[in-house]
Amino acid sequence: MGSIGVCINFIVYYLITRIALLSIGFGAIGAFGVAVICNYILNHKWTFSNGKKRELSFERFLLYVLVNLIGLFVNVSVLSVLVAMIGLEEDFLCQGVGVLCGMLLNFYISKKLVFEI
């Protein structure tokens, strides 16, 4: 489900930075917000369901958001450092590297803490 989240992230990032003409920081945070909601539902229903029928939980969602905020910090940090190093023209590449770093961390922590497999 991570690949769907990445696609959602890039679409929202594009809309915010290219259509709304807001900063890459706003783009990364807005994309995170939309993707985290979609990813929670997808991860709950498929990735970490383990054949169990569990209802969506607001408490588990809040924990998922808190875990993913760590990934957002990693994402925005990597994005900012890479844009400073190679330039704003390559912000999509930088966002991709940041998303990948954040996504790997989020997956590991979510598996161990949020979805308890």
Q: Which domain holds residue 38?
A: 2-114
Q: How far is CA 27 from CA 11, 36, 45, 55, 109, in A?
A: 10, 14, 27, 31, 24
Q: Is this model's pTM higher than 0.75 or not?
A: yes
Residue 44 — very low, low, confident or very high, per pLDDT cuts 50/70/90? Answer: confident
Q: Give the C-alpha separation, 56 to 24, whole Å.
A: 32
Cβ 12 vs Cβ 30: under 8 Å:
yes
117 pLDDT above the threshold of 70: no
Domain tally, the chain: 1
Residue 114 — very low, low, confident or very high, per pLDDT cuts 50/70/90? Answer: confident
7 pLDDT above the threshold of 60: yes
Q: Averaged over 60-81, what is the pLDDT? A: 91
pLDDT attached to residue 47: 73
